[in-house]
Chains A and B, each alone.
Chain A
Amino acid sequence: MQRLARISFQASDDSSTQRTLFAYVRTALGLTFGYSALLLVAVISLLPLVWMISTSLKAFGREFLFPPQWIPNPVVFGNYITAFETSNLARYFGNTLMIAVLATLGTVISSSLVAFGFARLEFFGKRVLFIILLSTLMLPGIVTLVPTFVLFKTLGWIDTPLPLIVPWWFGGGAFGGAFFVFLIRQFMLQLPRELDEAALVDGASYFRIYWRIMLPLSKPALAASAIFSFIHHWNDFLNPLIFLNSEEWRTLALYLRFFLYTEAGGGAGLTRWNLMMAASVVMLVPVLVIFFSAQRYFIRGVALTGIAGR
């Protein structure tokens, strides 16, 4: 009652012109604050990337100037050609691409099968198994580092890309892989059950339902998984570092680190930062292309799994 009285009191009291003016100024102030805060954060956020690109275009020697040169002068696009010519950058790019694509393919195919099982089928111990699956998400992957190394060494897979690919064909059984099962399952749970029930009545097999109904409808979740997976494998450093050691299989991540510490980069004291940054940009480009072309899936995907943390 009191609350109601207060509202009616306010409404009758405010002289309308004053109030609209006040509201107008307030909105304008709010907008200005909102935009300037966003702008400031955005500039800081993008500064390192801008700096990376700027440095990659500088003439040799200009990257050591202090105070730094913000805009490269002269602009040397040739750094990119030099970066490719003075190293096997193209091969490293190919290695990384192959590993990321094959691992992603395995992740999407096998995780969607498992996700379908958990989302739509009933079997003994389903709840317990799903809880186990979820709890692997919280396990630190570091514990299995040593034993998996021993395992792959016994199999003779060290210094081949197999340890980086094969585990990802096992439906989230590899560390961190459960994330993808979870993401796709959450999405499948939202799809109407009537669809697959109708198909069952029509005599379709479960595999057919998975393949012809659920997969096409789950495209957003599959796309999000594919993007996450690709970027994860493209960016991965620890696993290639442990499982690969010859130059033949070197990935871009390994190369960048190698470049920082060797004579090829000018030695630790005199790193050729312009070439280093050019190579970094080369590594960054595929990620950016994927990110920009599939942004809506990406951000929705993070949200989908994040919310489920409730």
Chain B
Amino acid sequence: MASRAAPLRPAPPAKNGLRSIRWRRHLIGYLFISPWIAGFALFTAFPMIYSLFLSFTKYDLLGPPEFVGFSNFERMVSDHLFLTALGNTAFYTLLAVPIQLLLALIMALLLNQKLRGINVFRTALYLPTVTPTVAFVVLFVYMYNPEFGIFNAILGWFGIPKLGWLTDPNLAKPAFIIMSLWHVGGQMVIFLAGLQAVPETLVEAASIDGAGKFRRFWHVTVPMISPVIFFNLVLGIIGSFQVFASAYIATNGGPKHATLFYVLWMYRHAFENFRMGYAATLGWVLLGVILLFTLIQFAVSRRWVYYEGEGA
């Protein structure tokens, strides 16, 4: 009986009879996670290895993949659209993510007030985030219309002339960034949860020490939620680098390649021109770029992310 009292941990190393029970327990564990192991092998590990293989081939889906060495990489470097697509994506990401996070944080701070009816506001601020992307993008195409769009109508109130939001190469990327600001509900809720986990005693202590509202925020709240900021930043950048649907639907890369984002460019090679080998190369290069950005962030995070319990 004693050995069954703590049955969820592997049994202590014991005589032969117990060893089979211990093995059985490990086996049951693997049985439960087996769907994931199979899924990981089939839909993550295998595709990644296979795409690495494809990136050294020429493959149009008709004949078998043909080994071409590094020529896909050489082709990419000399492709004038490579830098355009990567540059557009980097520009979008580096501008959109900080603005999104700042807005999400401000919204979370507003929602963190102890006010009556705050739930109604929480719903209102979160709602656009669950709107289907396609419906939202189509709606924005309409709202950005230079002739009868609502954005130009609102600008008109302030005497600003009509703008060609999606037709002006200089405005197209900012227009996409503005559009993305309606989908920050996820980050907002994560910030809100982070804010609510900040112990009130800390804020009060700072207040007693004579710290004003701003200093309390900057020196107490921000360090306390820095892990949440970091989390949102890392995932936000990974997500933004893969921006696709909005550009595909609204502008299809135009005007003048201003919204030709990397994944859209890759999509064209893969599914419009069926250059599977080249597209696989582009995919791995994007993975490398994203990985680089993520590693840099992890390295820099040691300087500003504060983890409680690790010592200050």
Contact = CB atoms under 8 A, between A and B. Distances in A.
Interface of A: 3, 6-7, 31, 34-35, 37-39, 41-42, 45-46, 48-49, 51-52, 55, 63-68, 110, 113-114, 116-118, 120-124, 126, 129, 132-133, 136, 138-151, 153, 167, 169-175, 177-178, 181, 193, 196-197, 200-201, 206, 210, 231, 234-235, 237-238, 241-242, 252-253, 256-257, 259-260, 271, 273, 276-277, 280, 283-284, 287-288, 291-292, 295, 299, 302-303, 306-307, 309-310
9 contacts: A34-B113, A48-B128, A66-B152, A149-B276, A170-B35, A170-B43, A277-B142, A309-B190, A309-B235
A309 B142 contact: no
Interface stretch (B79-87, B130-138, B163-171, B215-223): B130-138
B29 A121 contact: yes
A146 B227 CA distance: 34
Contacts of B280: 146-147
A256 B135 contact: yes
B32 A116 contact: yes
A202 to B, nearest CB: 10
Contact of B283 (A113, A146, A167, A284): A146
Contacts of A3: 208-209
B110 A63 contact: no
A48 B139 contact: yes
A280 B135 contact: yes
A133 B36 contact: yes
4 shortest interchain CB distances as A-B pairs: A173-B39, A170-B39, A123-B29, A117-B32
A257 B134 contact: yes
B77 interface: no
A235 B124 CA distance: 19
A144 B280 CA distance: 8
A65 B148 CA distance: 6
A215 B241 CA distance: 37
B96 interface: no
Contact of B44 (A173, A271, A303): A173
Nearest to B307: A310
Nearest to B35: A171
B228 A42 contact: no
A306 B190 contact: yes
B115 interface: yes
Interface in B45-90: 46-48, 50-51, 54, 59, 61
A42 B193 CA distance: 19
Most buried by B among A37, A64, A167, A171: A171
Contacts of B133: 235, 237, 253
Contacts of A257: 134, 138, 248-249
Contact of A231 (B43, B130, B136, B147): B130
Given A170-B39, A210-B32, A291-B130, A64 B147 contact: yes
Contact of A117 (B29, B192, B271): B29
B190 A173 contact: no
Contacts of B153: 66-68
A89 to B, nearest CB: 13
Contacts of B312: none
A123 B26 contact: yes
